[in-house]
């Protein structure tokens, strides 16, 4: 591909733009991962991650994409044939379910329409029916990257408690961590799954499990075969700031820098920034007269907006046009939303003008593709962005 002047607009819902500070941090020479300099780095990032997950409990780091941390959560806590309760909230929930089935688990699957978050009442009802406590874990995707819909974790926690059920609570925070408020301890989550390439502003390649005491106790009984993902070996090495195998040293340099940046901005400011950008994006979509996948404001994600095109128009044609004409990448429609939906990622390292540039690209693309819309989306977003915060 010949050189294209100007910045590429990577507005897919992850991987997100990696800031220069993180890229420069990662360019430092790799060091001995068993030496004292590494140990200091290990201690610092393992401790720093706890702040992002809002936990005082251990967070482990795998040199893997998010799917690795999904698998680690399941194999460390469960035994073959165990039942898990999952909900059809979108494509990532579906993929996690497929993984659970592949690992020999029995999945109780709550149906969903992909337009709403996970229903706490449905979870509570399924758990109340399970008098023998055969269900060993409730697994939920906090922010469905395929639909731009957020599920309300505190209400789901309450639903589990109301049913008086002892199942573990596992939450995928892959596209919410570092962009939407998340509280592992306060919400009594047992295993939180995270990954590097979204709100943490890093390249793909690191993923995380935050682990409660209850999950550690379950881990001691769990018998799905595991080796690479084993928490025991990982937690023992982490005590010394080390890893049981070769870690992704340079990604950890990046993580150290990203954690410093999140701390400098302040997590509450990071969350507020994401909310402002999400609302500005939604204002643009409303002004265009297009539909969002999220059915109601309660479901809106602060990190992703999934937009439905009018019937007869192909979202992938629009995406191709935007890449060719404006060097703008938007997220593809996934699973049952393929071809009818495009996704705008507004998470990670971005400011007001990056959001407006993205929306300007989309608006011009809609016009060029002959997709009926009302125009004025960028104007509506600008109005939202200059409105007093309050």
Ligand X SMILES: Cc1ncc(COP(=O)(O)O)c(C=O)c1O
What is the closest distance, in whole angstroms, from the C-beta atom of residue 262 to ligand X in the complex? Answer: 19
Confirm if 112 and 128 have CB atoms less than 8 A apart: no
Give whichever of 17 and 175 is closer to ligand X, judged by the CB atom: 175
With both helix axes pointing from N to C terminus, report the angle between 213-221 and 231-238 in degrees, rounded to the nearest 10.
130
Query: According to the 3-state scheme, what is the secondary structure of 235-293?
Result: HHHHCCCCCCCCCCHHHHHHHHHHHHHHHHHCHHHHHHHHHHHHHHHHHHHHHHCCEEC
What is the closest distance, in whole angstroms, from the C-beta atom of residue 288 to ligand X in the complex? Answer: 25
Alpha carbons 191 and 170: distance in angstroms, whole number: 5
* Torsion sign over Cα 357, 361, 363, 364: positive
Alpha carbons 283 and 30: distance in angstroms, whole number: 45
Half-sphere exposure of 144 toward its Cβ, with a 13 Å CA cutoff? Answer: 35
Torsion-angle region of residue 274: left (phi > 0), alpha (psi -120 to 50) or beta?
alpha
What is the closest distance, in whole angstroms, from the C-beta atom of residue 49 to ligand X in the complex? Answer: 17
- Nearest to ligand X by Cβ — which residue? 66
| Contacting positions for ligand X (CB under 6 A) | 14, 65-67, 92, 141, 145, 172, 174-175, 195, 204
Give whichever of 49 and 371 is closer to ligand X, judged by the CB atom: 49
Alpha carbons 141 and 158: distance in angstroms, whole number: 16
Give whichever of 178 and 377 is closer to ligand X, judged by the CB atom: 178
What count of other Cβ atoms lies within 10 Å of the Cβ of residue 177? 27
What is the closest distance, in whole angstroms, from the C-beta atom of residue 39 to ligand X in the complex? Answer: 27
What is the closest distance, in whole angstroms, from the C-beta atom of residue 192 to ligand X in the complex? Answer: 12
| Interstrand relation of 207-211 and 135-141 (parallel, antiparallel or unpaired) | unpaired
Give whichever of 124 and 301 is closer to ligand X, judged by the CB atom: 301
Give whichever of 337 and 382 is closer to ligand X, judged by the CB atom: 337
What is the closest distance, in whole angstroms, from the C-beta atom of residue 68 to ligand X in the complex? Answer: 7
Give whichever of 94 and 212 is closer to ligand X, judged by the CB atom: 94
What is the closest distance, in whole angstroms, from the C-beta atom of residue 304 to ligand X in the complex? Answer: 9
Give whichever of 247 and 357 is closer to ligand X, judged by the CB atom: 247
Residue 300 has what DSSP assignment?
Answer: B
């Amino acid at each position: 591909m010949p050189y294209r002047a100007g910045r590429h607009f990577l507005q897919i819902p992850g991987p997100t733009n990696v800031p220069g500070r993180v890229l420069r941090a990662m360019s430092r020479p790799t060091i001995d991962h068993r030496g004292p300099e590494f140990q200091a780095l290990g201690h610092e990032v393992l401790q720093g991650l706890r702040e992002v997950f809002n936990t005082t409990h251990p967070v482990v780091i795998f040199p893997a994409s998010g799917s690795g941390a999904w698998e680690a959560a399941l194999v460390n806590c469960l035994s073959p044939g165990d039942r898990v309760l999952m909900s059809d909230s979108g494509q990532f929930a579906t993929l996690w379910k497929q993984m659970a089935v592949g690992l020999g688990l029995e999945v109780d699957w709550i149906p969903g329409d992909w337009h709403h978050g996970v229903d706490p009442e449905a979870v509570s009802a399924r758990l109340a029916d399970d008098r023998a406590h055969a269900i060993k874990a409730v697994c939920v995707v906090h922010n469905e990257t395929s639909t731009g819909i957020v599920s309300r974790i505190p209400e789901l926690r309450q639903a589990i408690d109301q049913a008086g059920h002892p199942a573990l609570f596992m939450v995928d925070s892959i596209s919410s961590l570092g962009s939407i408020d998340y509280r592992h301890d306060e919400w009594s989550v047992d295993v939180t799954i995270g990954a590097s390439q979204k709100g943490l502003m890093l390249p793909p390649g690191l993923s995380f499990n935050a682990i409660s005491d209850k999950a550690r106790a379950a881990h001691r009984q769990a018998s799905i075969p595991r080796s690479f993902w084993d928490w025991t070996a990982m937690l023992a090495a982490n005590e010394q700031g080390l890893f049981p195998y070769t870690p992704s040293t340079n990604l950890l340099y990046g993580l150290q820098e990203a954690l410093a940046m999140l701390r400098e901005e302040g997590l509450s400011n990071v969350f507020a920034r994401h909310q402002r950008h999400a609302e500005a994006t939604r204002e643009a979509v409303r002004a265009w007269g297009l539909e969002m996948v999220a059915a109601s404001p309660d479901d809106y994600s602060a990190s992703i907006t999934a937009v439905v095109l009018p019937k007869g128009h192909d979202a992938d044609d629009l995406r191709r046009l935007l890449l060719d004409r404006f060097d703008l990448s938007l997220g593809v429609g996934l699973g049952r939303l393929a071809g009818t939906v495009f996704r705008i990622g507004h998470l990670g390292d971005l400011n007001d003008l990056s959001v407006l540039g993205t929306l300007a690209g989309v608006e011009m693309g809609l016009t060029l593709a002959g997709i009926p819309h009302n125009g004025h989306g960028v104007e509506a977003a600008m109005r939202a962005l200059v409105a007093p915060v309050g």
